[in-house]
Amino acid sequence: MRKYGRIRSSTSREINIPAELIWEILIWIPVKDLMRFKCVSRVWFSIINDPAFAKTHRRGFQGLLLLSEVDLNYPVTKHHLHYVSLDGQPNELCNQLTVNHRKNDTMMRRTEVVNGLMCYYSFNQAFLYNIATRERLRLPRIPCIDERGHYRYYFGFDPVNKLYKLLRIGYQCNWRCKILTIGKDKSWRTIYRWRRSKNNPLMEVTGRGICFNGVLYWMVSTNGQHDQNLIAFDLAQEKFQVIPTPPGEPRQFFLPNFGSSLTLVSKRWVDARHGLVTFISHGCNDGICRDLGWIWTDELELGYPKLKANFCLSKLQGFTPNGEALIIDGEPQKGYLFDLTKRESEMIELHIPPVSCLTEVYLLCQPPSLTMSYFEENMISLKSLISSI
């Protein structure tokens, strides 16, 4: 541990508080309070801004979900983020967080949340944003000649090299892909460029991408929606790969919004009252997938008399770090946590803000419209993240 000096009282007597003791006290303080405590003294300011302190901080809120907009392509000048507690207990994070963009930063879109960080982007400009500390960092621009046409940004973390990367896919006459290694690259690098082709599944990468263990994934449909393929982009190797979906009877697969490993989910009816949700995981968990194949993981019976959720309207959102499956019923305020090991479920009430506080997309009240991301506070300073590279 580095030396930070000592704290003096306002009187003539000196009170020496060991830096180790201050450290042990502060690591249990919520991030919101720590941001205010920076002004207590230079010692506290140095400790709180220390990257090593951010890594050992133990009071960050975990097990929360970040409620986000449905249509990620819908441009807005401000974003409303809502924290939802998984334990069903109301807390201060249930309040709305509004991210106001600058006047010149119009038509802003956002990426998915990765390790408590996310990116906002507009045309050829992107910003890195820490949700917990509200810190914002401007990233290098893309040359104006490349900003024409449709585009989409995808944010991910490379655990091998411990680097955050931002992927930009431009949908013009030629399919163009650029990437930026945050904190390392001073400019964007072009890594792929193809002509449009109906037989190339990569041309279908236009929707929401999910990052699992250093790989970005997209589920795309080809051949008139009859065939599905999983597109993978390894952030360390910076390579794309097309992964066929599991063989067998035709079924629709979808990717959960969060989890610790690559898993596909499908639903099928058993009778008029309930159905089965099947989990199928891939043999690889680290890096890009090779010829390891799909592995049947588990099957969950959903509906009466088992898990009393509406099978038709319910949607599996993802898997928590504890290995529980989070299922949202037809109503956004109602959910279930299912322990796959104990085969037990617990109904939870999600404390979502009143309807008057939500944007119009929430009023649809349909599970596919309710997009969630697992959220853990990350108090690391973005400036230290950049300077540490």
pLDDT of residue 45: 86
pTM metric for this prediction: 0.80
Least confident among 184-188, 245-249, 349-353 = 349-353
- Given a contact cutoff of 8 angstroms between Cβ atoms, the answer to whether 79 and 108 are in contact is yes
213-236 CB burial, b ≥16 within 10 A, e <16: bbbbbbbbebeeeeebbbbbbbbb
Measured between alpha carbons, how far is 369 from 356 in angstroms, rounded to an integer? Answer: 17
Residue 387: partners with Cβ closer than 8 Å, 6 or more residues away: 183
Take residue 268 and report the two structure tokens written for it: 């099928």
Measured between alpha carbons, how far is 301 from 274 in angstroms, rounded to an integer? Answer: 7
pLDDT of residue 348: 75
- Backbone Cα Rg of the chain: 23
What are the residue ranges of helices labelled H in 106-147? none
Least confident among 68-72, 204-208, 369-373 = 68-72
Confidence of residue 287 (pLDDT cuts 50, 70, 90): very low
Q: Determine the 3-state secondary structure of 187 from DSSP.
A: coil
Measured between alpha carbons, how far is 358 from 373 in angstroms, rounded to an integer? Answer: 17
Q: Structural domains in the chain?
A: 1-59 (no CATH), 64-387 (2.120.10)
Residue 343 has pLDDT above 90, yes or no: no
Tell me the per-residue pLDDT of 231-241, one tens digit each, with 9 for 90 and over: 899 999 999 98
pLDDT of residue 181: 94
Measured between alpha carbons, how far is 106 from 85 in angstroms, rounded to an integer? Answer: 31
- Given a contact cutoff of 8 angstroms between Cβ atoms, the answer to whether 117 and 378 are in contact is yes
pLDDT of residue 226: 62
Confidence of residue 352 (pLDDT cuts 50, 70, 90): low
Residue 82 has pLDDT above 60, yes or no: yes
Least confident among 18-27, 30-39, 331-340 = 331-340
Mean pLDDT of the chain: 73
Residue 9 has pLDDT above 60, yes or no: no
